[in-house]
Amino acid sequence: PPELIKAFHWHKKQWDYWDMVAGDTRIVLVDLRADSPTRGRIQVLIAGEHSPKVVAIPPLVAHGYQALSLRDVVLSYYVTEPYDAQSPDEGRIPWNDQRIGFDWSIENI
């Protein structure tokens, strides 16, 4: 459904590669890397069937997405590390965390 938000999570080692093959989304990336010149910056991408792209997400970049259309979102999700249930390489940040302060309203597209 429109406005569905799945955010934020990040990895220490793993790269993610996202390809939104159906539906349209707003992808939000937040740089958490301590030594990065873009630390703390937010990048927003529109991706989906009307704006096709593959998005490479490096380690320590928090990421999430929001559905923008009535059509179901289909995400092809490729990763560089196998999943380890005993020690998952994943951190989470609430979608509405004030430290990030991202405005998810549809009017902000």
On the question of pLDDT at 108 being above 80, the answer is no
Question: pLDDT digits over 81-94, tens only?
Answer: 999 999 999 999 99
**Calpha distance 61→52 (Å, rounded):** 21
Hey, what are 84's tokens? Answer: 């380890």
Hey, what are 94's tokens? Answer: 């609430």
The domain spans of the chain are 1-72
Question: pLDDT digits over 34-52, tens only?
Answer: 999 999 999 999 999 999 9
Rounded average pLDDT over 65-83? 93
On the question of pLDDT at 24 being above 70, the answer is yes
User: For the domain 1-72, what is the CATH code?
Assistant: 2.60.120.10
**Calpha distance 45→40 (Å, rounded):** 16
**Calpha distance 76→72 (Å, rounded):** 13
